[in-house]
Structure 1
Amino acid sequence: MNVDDVEYPKKRPGQGAMTHLHDIEARFKEIAGDDDRIDVGELQRGLDLHDADYAARVFRLIDEDKSGEISLWEFIRFARVLVEGTPEEKLRIIFNLHDLNGDGTVDFEELTHILDRSLNEHSIDVPPEKVAQLGRVLFASIDTDGSGSIDFEEFQASIDAHPSLKAQMIDRSSTWLRLPERIASDRRRRGRSFRALFGGLRRAWENERPWLILLTVTGAALIWLFERGMVREAAIGSDLPTQIAQGAAEAVKLCGVLMIVSMLRHSFTLLRRFGIARILPVDRMIDYHRVVGHTLAFLALVHVVGYIVTYESLIDPDFFTRDVVYGELFRSQVGWSGVTLATILLLIWAFARESVRRSGMFEAFYLTHRLFWAFLPLLIVHVPGFAAWIAVPGAIFLMEQGHRLIRGRKPSEIDDITPMPSNVTRLRMKRPDWLDFKPGEYVQLRIPAVSKREWHPFTVTSSPDEKDCLELHVRSVGNWTRKLNELAMRDEAARAENWRRVYLEGPYGSPSSDINDCPVPVLIGAGIGVTPFASILKTVLERSKSGNPPGEDLQRLYFIWLNRDQKAFEWFGALMAALEDLPELKGRIDIRVWLTGLKAELTSASLTVAMEVYHEAAGRDLLTGLRTRTELSRPNWNTIFSEIKARHEGAPIDVFYCGPEGLSTVLSQECARFGFGYRKENF
């Protein structure tokens, strides 16, 4: 059967409706396969449903004729309600999903059963006794007439009591069948106007002003040097290729200096403590290093090509066999140093690719980057006057490297290594006497039992007030971190003999280490991105316990933590509970947690209502045990930021974020719209 043969019920379809029909048909064929029929197994696989009982219940709702198969017509009728139905029609579908025996009401057993299946479908682990308790409080709140059963009107009233939830449910209903995103977004499609583009540029300027200014100044300086080199060559009668080659050579001098400057970690950490981070983007120095590196490679290529084109004799096929060429290339200082520089730069650039570092070839990246120590002296030999350019930054760089070498040779010791939920490893080490850090700062870590040469940056999650202990939380996202997690899971007898030996460098500053200067800091961590804020929160807790709570300059600290996995809240659950329970911090810290990994399912609304009702009755969250209720959705940043701005009218508000880049883009735009400062962690 083809969708064009199906009678569209109730109203004549317009262009949008026909588009929906064809999209729904495409989804049906994707699930059904060649036989144009969907059985319960195909529906479960097609909708990515984990729970077979839940899948069977959804199947029975769609299979109107009870034939044991879903036809295209039945699929379209069901999908049309999700896409274009009224709120009441959509609620009726949800209610029917709860009404297991089809008698028009939902009793306690049916409600509890569906809640249990919904929790299972969303991979939320709740003990059976808690599920029963959840069912009891929800049933009591909906069964307002005390009849012992819930009719549709009572069910509808319970959803109507949560307007934001109802609006979200209606807006996302088309995703329940994993329908094409075009359907879900069709009603809210927006054109990309010039105004929208201008607004995006304005927000980028407001959020990234120091970074954009630095890039602009750098670009202007490189262009000026390039032009100066060309003008100088033109003045002595050189041809155009030589002018271009020498213009590139002038610009390379500045790139060489900037490559060194961007690696002065200790200097930037010191500058941060003097507040320089507000005018110089010290948080973006790794990004700046990459930009300058790519620019240096490009300019070097232009320089080489310019001189190759200059030598017309290259047209001669016998050019590379003549002894004079080998003499010029390998016996003259400019020749051999230039060839060696080009080779080194090519190796460094090739092995610095993100794909190389992530593919298990970190040691190749590490070793080729060590060639930088040969690259700089060769650049001094090859480029006249370059030594004067790098004298000052080079001296500072050498002092920093000497300091790093001395510190890096002194090993510390791992006291405990523990595997945590969601592939996280907790490291507790003896804190070296020399390691004096501020909350939010990070260290470089090397563990020979995992890899002899690799250094990796991790934020310290312990408080600076813990003098004998240094704690890190490491998420398994690459080869090195996976090996560390495997080490933690082994019995101690099965570990390498020197597994406790660890080397540390740092500390180094990060955006979150500036939080003490903000009257209203908003800390947003996504997943393991919580680590920069753990040290800050622990410090606030320990100092408040000892009679030194935050000063009056801090109006309120907001801590927002997003996780896709329920178990991840265990990393710092005890810390959050202690912060909530400490009287000295009442009204000073606002903790909010979101569980964002839930799929859009037919029972999501009733599960959310159940969690809210349980929290109201018990005073504690079902999943975390905190006073703060876990939100089973994605945050509405407009609502959150509007509330914070209204509460702190006129006060400067700064958002600090650590997590995936996609969310950073959203937060950056929202912060610019609300006039908030925005800082993102960059490693």
Structure 2
Amino acid sequence: MIKWNKNDAPRWIFVGIWIIINVILFAVTFVSYRDADEYFYLRSLVGNSLCWARASAACLNFNVMLILLPVCRKLFSYIRGCCDCCPQILRRQLDKNITYHKYIAYMICLHTAIHISAHCFNFEKLAEAHRITGNDLRSRLTHLPSSPNGTWVNPIRSSDPDPTREVFKSVAGVSGVIITLCLIIIVSSSTEIIRRSYFEVFWFTHHVFIIFFIGFLVHGAQMIIHKQSNLSNHPVPSCSEKRWDGKPCDVPQFEGTPPASWKWLVAPAILYLLERLARLVSGLTRVVITKVVTHPSQVFELQMQKKGFRAAPGQYILIQCPAVSKLEWHPFTLTSAPGDEYFSVHVRRVGDWTEAVAKLCHVDEGDFQEAWKMPRIYVDGPFGTATEDVFGYDVALLVGCGIGVTPFASVLKSVWYKFCDPKATVSLKKVYLYWVCPDTSAFEWFQGLLLDLERQMRQKNMPDFLQYNIHLTRGWNANQARNIMLHDDFSDYDAVTGLHHKTQYGRPQWETIFKEQAESHKGERIGVFFCGPKSLSSTLHKHCNRFSSSESKTYFYYNKENF
């Protein structure tokens, strides 16, 4: 249980509280509409489906209020910066903002389905009431005269109604269809395969949320759900079976229920608009590309300067190049450290956007280009990530796959800068870097940084502070591996990377690695930071839970990069 608590319990406590709030809100609203006298006659027409519709609507208001908060990047970065003294358990929940955003979206889908189903039943019952004759209560309610003060309780006023047609004759029906379609588009285009393969599709369709919110606000504007307004002169249920001619009961009077959605949305909407405004101002601040460095393996580095720009290790930025696209913003992890005079990103040329930017930056020309020849770009950020907390642990275990090692470029430099600063207080005692690469070319662009750090550590007589573990998973055969290993036996440097630490061939044996770490660092807090594919993330997460021990006081804390 302790193992599970360290990595998973805080998240599920947050989720559990949120679910409990939803359940309570649903139950309280359901019971209030079920027992309220002012809705007695409306319940007589449609039954308990009214309660289901209103309870789900209350939960929709609550969750739509929350859905924007997790995607306020600047807000979360500000909170992270203000919570240095907060317990790490709370700070780590900020890294799960996208996960919470998805959970809220799923809850919205669930309550939307309940809400639609209940109202479909409502309209069927309301239309059916027109076909009832005689002194039946439903018939009497349906044929109440329509007056300026809204005497009617059945919103369908046609004599021979079709439920489907009546839905589209109401503001609630039309807006409900629109926001449901928007929700389907947003959710269906947010799948992982769409986001990774067709990011532009995901980006554009996600902004349909603007139409969704407008439709959500006007959904209840027509106030078709009426409640009784003269209970003092027409008490229920005692008057329901009596004559409505003033003796003993007046004719029941009804009024529309005012829409309440705007009350839930006004605060988060204002907060989100301020967030977007702040990001717009920040994003339009002039950025100067001071240097473009071409690296092997189709990677180039942009070194930039921007007035007032400050970033913590491991943070990321969003980059827009208007000459390529005026709408697209792409996330890149900063590879520079806070002590550098510039901030930089490494860009791998793997798509139309990156190829276009590389061409505009004259990457393939090789010669030095003046700043005025560089394209205009805008930078939004920086934004916080889990890697910022690397200094809060006794031991850091950094795991990157391929280009996923970029967040650790900034971290490694920052760790070393702080360690060399006599005024800085660093609790971090040891850093392990595990880099899993598909082929030898993937090493080349990051090799220079590792060589520099290795040289500096040897000059400080601290060669073991940072330990590299580079694993080559393919791009070699058994004979090549044998020749490389024979060469390694007679050299102090690795034949592939040129580093003192030798390259390993094949995938890491994570179970063995975690077992060795647990034995080597008993009683210490080990922060595991990962950037890479989901499959490996799940493996590392499970090992963090498995090898944490309350007996030895050794705990592995799992942190994953999310953009």
TM-score, normalization by structure 1? 0.62
Q: Any idea what SS the aligned residue of 1:472 has?
A: strand
Matching residue's letter, 1:296? I
Q: Any idea what SS the aligned residue of 1:352 has?
A: coil
Which residue of 465, 472, 482 corresponds with 1:596? 472
What residue number does 1:245 align with? Answer: 53
In the TM superposition, residue 242 of structure 1 has moved relative to its aligned partner by 3.0
Q: Any idea what SS the aligned residue of 1:516 has?
A: helix
Matching residue's letter, 2:524? A
Name the one with the larger helix percent: 1
Cα-to-partner distance string for 1:65-96 (whole Å, 9 max, x where unaligned): xxxxxxxxxxxxxxxxxxxxxxxxxxxxxxxx
What residue number does 1:620 align with? Answer: 493
What residue number does 2:452 align with? Answer: 578
What residue number does 2:313 align with? Answer: 439
Which residue of 486, 499, 502 corresponds with 1:610? 486
Query: Structure 1 residues 663 and 340, CA, compared in 2 at 3 Å: closer, same or farther?
Result: closer
**In 2, distance between residues paired with 1:249 and 1:300?**
8
What residue number does 1:104 align with? Answer: none
In the TM superposition, residue 490 of structure 1 has moved relative to its aligned partner by 4.9
**In 1, distance between residues paired with 2:105 and 2:350?**
26
Which residue of 421, 427, 434 corresponds with 1:553? 427
In the TM superposition, residue 511 of structure 1 has moved relative to its aligned partner by 0.6
Residue 475 in 1 paired to residue 337 in 2? no
Matching residue's letter, 1:422? S
| Matched ranges for 1:45-64 at <5 A | none
**In 2, distance between residues paired with 1:570 and 1:259?**
42
Query: Structure 1 residues 322 and 535, CA, compared in 2 at 3 Å: closer, same or farther?
Result: farther
Cα-to-partner distance string for 1:222-248 (whole Å, 9 max, x where unaligned): 233223333233224352333322222
Q: Any idea what SS the aligned residue of 2:377 has?
A: strand
**In 2, distance between residues paired with 1:380 and 1:262?**
21
What residue number does 2:557 align with? Answer: 677
**In 2, distance between residues paired with 1:568 and 1:382?**
53
Which residue of 163, 173, 183 corresponds with 1:345? 183
Cα-to-partner distance string for 1:182-203 (whole Å, 9 max, x where unaligned): xxxxxxxxxxxxxxxxxxx986
Residue 409 in 1 paired to residue 284 in 2? yes
**In 1, distance between residues paired with 2:277 and 2:529?**
33
**In 2, distance between residues paired with 1:612 and 1:321?**
91
**In 1, distance between residues paired with 2:74 and 2:201?**
26
Query: Structure 1 residues 368 and 661, CA, compared in 2 at 3 Å: closer, same or farther?
Result: closer
**In 1, distance between residues paired with 2:102 and 2:426?**
41
**In 2, distance between residues paired with 1:556 and 1:550?**
16
**In 2, distance between residues paired with 1:649 and 1:271?**
32
Which residue of 365, 376, 388 corresponds with 2:202? 365
Query: Structure 1 residues 575 and 544, CA, compared in 2 at 3 Å: closer, same or farther?
Result: farther
**In 2, distance between residues paired with 1:420 and 1:549?**
35
**In 1, distance between residues paired with 2:423 and 2:530?**
24
In the TM superposition, residue 307 of structure 1 has moved relative to its aligned partner by 0.8
Greater alpha carbon shift after TM alignment, 502-511 vs 550-559 = 550-559
In the TM superposition, residue 461 of structure 1 has moved relative to its aligned partner by 0.3
In the TM superposition, residue 294 of structure 1 has moved relative to its aligned partner by 2.9
Cα-to-partner distance string for 1:346-397 (whole Å, 9 max, x where unaligned): 333343333444444x444333333333433442333522333234433332
What residue number does 1:505 align with? Answer: 380
Query: Structure 1 residues 646 and 549, CA, compared in 2 at 3 Å: closer, same or farther?
Result: farther
| 8 Å CA contact retained: 2:529, 2:559 | yes
| 8 Å CA contact retained: 2:299, 2:348 | yes
Matching residue's letter, 2:53? A
**In 1, distance between residues paired with 2:65 and 2:366?**
47
In the TM superposition, residue 543 of structure 1 has moved relative to its aligned partner by 5.1
What residue number does 1:151 align with? Answer: none
**In 1, distance between residues paired with 2:111 and 2:441?**
50
Matching residue's letter, 2:14? L
Which residue of 25, 33, 40 corresponds with 1:233? 33
Q: Any idea what SS the aligned residue of 1:295 has?
A: helix
RMSD value, Cα: 3.4
Residue identity (%): 31
**In 1, distance between residues paired with 2:506 and 2:366?**
40
Which residue of 119, 123, 126 corresponds with 1:311? 123
Q: Any idea what SS the aligned residue of 2:68 has?
A: helix
In the TM superposition, residue 336 of structure 1 has moved relative to its aligned partner by 4.2
Residue 281 in 1 paired to residue 89 in 2? no
What residue number does 1:215 align with? Answer: 15
| 8 Å CA contact retained: 2:471, 2:508 | no
Matching residue's letter, 2:124? E
Q: Any idea what SS the aligned residue of 1:501 has?
A: coil
Greater alpha carbon shift after TM alignment, 277-286 vs 325-334 = 325-334
Q: Any idea what SS the aligned residue of 1:553 has?
A: coil
Residue 531 in 1 paired to residue 406 in 2? yes
Residue 650 in 1 paired to residue 458 in 2? no
| 8 Å CA contact retained: 2:529, 2:560 | yes
Greater alpha carbon shift after TM alignment, 567-576 vs 226-235 = 226-235
**In 2, distance between residues paired with 1:485 and 1:666?**
36
Matching residue's letter, 2:280? L
In the TM superposition, residue 281 of structure 1 has moved relative to its aligned partner by 1.5
Q: Any idea what SS the aligned residue of 2:332 has?
A: strand
Which residue of 335, 359, 369 corresponds with 1:461? 335
**In 2, distance between residues paired with 1:329 and 1:450?**
45
Query: Structure 1 residues 352 and 601, CA, compared in 2 at 3 Å: closer, same or farther?
Result: closer
**In 2, distance between residues paired with 1:492 and 1:552?**
40
Query: Structure 1 residues 311 and 427, CA, compared in 2 at 3 Å: closer, same or farther?
Result: same
What residue number does 2:247 align with? Answer: none
Query: Structure 1 residues 476 and 214, CA, compared in 2 at 3 Å: closer, same or farther?
Result: farther
Residue 272 in 1 paired to residue 80 in 2? yes
Matching residue's letter, 1:566? T
Structure 2 residues not aligned, in runs of 5+: 129-155, 221-258, 549-555
**In 2, distance between residues paired with 1:504 and 1:449?**
14
**In 2, distance between residues paired with 1:660 and 1:310?**
47
| 8 Å CA contact retained: 1:594, 1:633 | no
**In 2, distance between residues paired with 1:566 and 1:363?**
31
| 8 Å CA contact retained: 1:449, 1:498 | no
| 8 Å CA contact retained: 1:241, 1:306 | yes
Query: Structure 1 residues 592 and 322, CA, compared in 2 at 3 Å: closer, same or farther?
Result: farther
Matching residue's letter, 1:303? H
Structure 1 segments of 4 or more deviating over 6 A?
A: 313-316, 319-327
Query: Structure 1 residues 326 and 524, CA, compared in 2 at 3 Å: closer, same or farther?
Result: closer
Query: Structure 1 residues 349 and 640, CA, compared in 2 at 3 Å: closer, same or farther?
Result: closer
In the TM superposition, residue 208 of structure 1 has moved relative to its aligned partner by 2.3
Paired residues, number: 472
Query: Structure 1 residues 322 and 454, CA, compared in 2 at 3 Å: closer, same or farther?
Result: farther
**In 2, distance between residues paired with 1:499 and 1:311?**
62
